[in-house]
Amino acid sequence: MKKKFLSLLLAMVMVLSLAACGGDTEETPAESGETPAEEGSEAPAEGTAFLLGGTGPLTGGAAIYGNAAYRGAQIAVDEINAMGGVQFDLRYEDDQHDAEKAVNAYNVLKDWGMQLSLGSVTSKPCEATAAETYADRIFALTPSASSTATTEGKDNMFQMCFMDPNQGSASATYISEKGLGTKVAIIWKNDDVYSKGIHDTFVAEAAELNLAIVSDTTFADGNDTDFSVQLADAQANDADLVFLPMYYQPASLILSQANSMGYNPKWFGVDGMDGILTMEGFDPALAEGVMLLTPFNADATDDKTVAFVTEYQDRYGETPNQFAADAYDCVYAYKQALEAAGATPDMTAEELCDLMIQQFTSMTFDGLTGEGMTWDATGAVSKSPKGMVIENGAYVGLD
């Protein structure tokens, strides 16, 4: 009967995969740490580099965020390695924006011998890997996982991006102080931690500031194409400002549908909105006048940003978004901290963890996404979001 045969075949597959998995332990770190050919960089010799690992969605629906972070970090690593001094060996593993796969990916990195972690790119997976890095005493600095639960109760988990609640309250304060709108509508993504986190604090803060929220509607993964109802609700309630705490992909759909409805309120976005102008084929006229709080601006003219953006475009043919910039900053922050602590690559992850906690809570860091950044003991970064407005297809500072 074919059942037996099937079982046999499957058993063989399993033995093979087990063998492949088991093989990882025997490999020396430097061997398995080969960077993909695409990057065109040479890994430093064994034992001279810090093994830096991270997980992020490199495939699946959220792949854009993971790939951006990976590429940003890779550029930073290559630059730093070329300078001499502190050397890094970077490895990113795919977690498909899923907590289970993130833990699997984290374990692969642990087998590799990871000494310093870049956490995970997205919030929920990062909450899962943060519990692991906490238990294993590996220091982690996430470029972009912004939920409160990521760092909560973990002394060795730090963030490069601002936390969701900060963005929510900062947005509300900003709108209220500048008198941008009196009647606010919110459209948010109901099955997304990021969107939900910002929405909740925005609503709470708005209540204190007497900012009227006239329309509060949601969407979710399965129905993120048609926004006519949400927009009609905002329009019917005379909202003069629509707050969009979400990533730029649904936001671009909302802008284009509002445009075809002839609805032109003020739009206000958060850092996830950054990237909207870099979408291939996007008509910048749709985003004219959109305001957003973002730590990074790919059009900025300072040397650091220009160098980074040029390098990114040369390598990948795309404009970097804030995920890439945050990951780039993470690697440089590590460099600064490692140098200040006099850490060497032969230290164990646990030793490095203690040194890094000491450094990060005391140092000041200047990066692409902010000047004079500091971290408190909870792992949250203090940097102030910059208000930007899109004019003629480019960001212009609001202040």
Partner 1 sequence: MTFLNFLISGISLGSIYAIIALGYTMVYGIAKMLNFAHGDVIMVGAYICFYAVSRYSMPPLVGVLLAMLVCTVLGIVVERLAYKPLRAAPSLAVLITAIGVSYFLQNAALLLWSSNPKVFPNAFVLKSVDAEGNEVVKNGVELFAGQLKISYVTLATILICIIIMLALTWFTSKTKMGKAMRACSEDKGAAQLMGINVNATISMTFAIGSGLAAVAGVLLCSAYPTLVPTTGSMPGIKAFTAAVFGGIGSIPGALLGGLLLGVIEIFAKAYISTQLSDAIVFAVLIVVLLVKPAGLLGKQIREKV
Partner 2 sequence: MANKLSGLRKSTRRNFLTYALVILAFIVLQALITTGSISSSLKGMLVPICAYVVMAVSLNLTVGVLGELSLGHAGFMSVGAFTGVATAILLQDVIPMAPLRLAVGMAVGAAFAALAGFLIGIPVLRLKGDYLAIVTLAFGEIIKSIFNNLYMGVDSKGLHFSLLSDTTNLDETGTLIIGGPMGIGGIQKISTFAAGFVLVMITLVVVFHLVGSRAGRAIMAIRDNRIAAESVGVNVTKYKMMAFVTSAALAGAAGTLFAANYSTIVANKFDFNTSILVLVFVVLGGLGNMLGSIIAAAALTILPEALREFSDYRMLVYAIVLILVMLATNNPTLKSLLARLRPGNREKKEAV
In the complex, the residues that contact partner 2 under the rule CB under 8 A are 1-7, 9-11, 13-14, 16-18, 20-22, 24-25, 36, 38, 58-60, 93-94, 98-101, 103-104, 106-108, 110-111, 124, 127-128, 130-131, 147, 149, 152-153, 190-193, 196-197, 200, 220-222
Closer to partner 1 by CB, 281 or 342: give it. 281
What's the rounded Cα separation, in Å, for the pair 199 and 253? 19
Binding residues for partner 1 (CB under 8 A): 59-61, 63-64, 67, 190, 217-226, 228-230, 232-233, 236, 248-250, 252-253, 256, 260-262, 278-283, 318
| Pair 51, 91: CB distance under 8 Å | yes
User: Dihedral sign, CA of 358, 359, 360, 361?
Assistant: positive
Q: Which is nearer to partner 2, 3 or 177 (CB)?
A: 3
Query: To the nearest whole angstrom, how small is the minimum distance from the Cβ of residue 189 to partner 2?
Result: 8
> What does 9 interact with, of partner 1, partner 2, none (CB < 5 to 8 A by kind)?
partner 2
At closest approach, how far in Å is the CB of 232 from partner 1? 6
Amino acid at 252: S
Tell me, what amino acid is at 42?
E
Minimum Å distance from CB 212 to partner 2? Answer: 18
Q: Which does 39 bind (CB under 5 to 8 A by kind): partner 1, partner 2, none?
A: none
Measuring CA to CA, which residue among 74, 30, 75 is closest to residue 48? 30
**Partner whose footprint covers residue 217, from partner 1, partner 2, none (CB < 5 to 8 Å by kind):** partner 1
Residue 374 near residue 382, CB atoms below 8 Å? yes
Tokens of 173: 């304060």
Burial 246-268 (b: 16+ CB within 10 A, else e): bbbebbbebbebbeeeeeebbbb
Report which DSSP code applies to 266.
Answer: E
Least distance in angstroms from the C-beta of 157 to partner 2: 12
- Which pairing describes strands 266-269 and 241-244: parallel, antiparallel, or unpaired? parallel
Binding partner at 212 among partner 1, partner 2, none, C-beta below 5 to 8 Å by kind: none
Cα–Cα dist 384/372, whole Å: 10
CB of 366 to partner 2, least distance (A): 33
Nearer to partner 1, 17 or 260 (CB): 260
- Taking the least distance from each CB to partner 1, the nearer of 84 and 262 is 262
Q: Which is nearer to partner 2, 24 or 283 (CB)?
A: 24
* Least spacing, CB of residue 317 vs partner 1, in Å: 8
Query: Please, are residues 122 and 97 in contact by the beta-carbon 8 Å criterion?
Result: yes
292/341 with CB nearer partner 1: 292
Residue 111 or 233: the one with the smaller Cβ distance to partner 1 is 233
Task: Tell me if 350 sits within 8 A of 91, measured CB to CB.
Answer: no
Shortest spacing between CB 92 and partner 1, in angstroms: 14
Provide the edge-to-edge strand list for the sheet that holds 365-367.
365-367, 370-375, 381-382
| CB-nearer residue toward partner 2: 134 or 282 | 134
CB of 9 to partner 2, least distance (A): 7
Instruction: Evaluate whether 53 touches 349 at the Cβ level (below 8 Å).
Output: no
Residue 70: both structure tokens together: 């990976």
The item of partner 1, partner 2, none sharing an interface with residue 260, based on CB under 5 to 8 Å by kind, is: partner 1
Whole-angstrom distance, CA of residue 328 vs CA of residue 296: 11
H or E segment at 92? strand 88-94
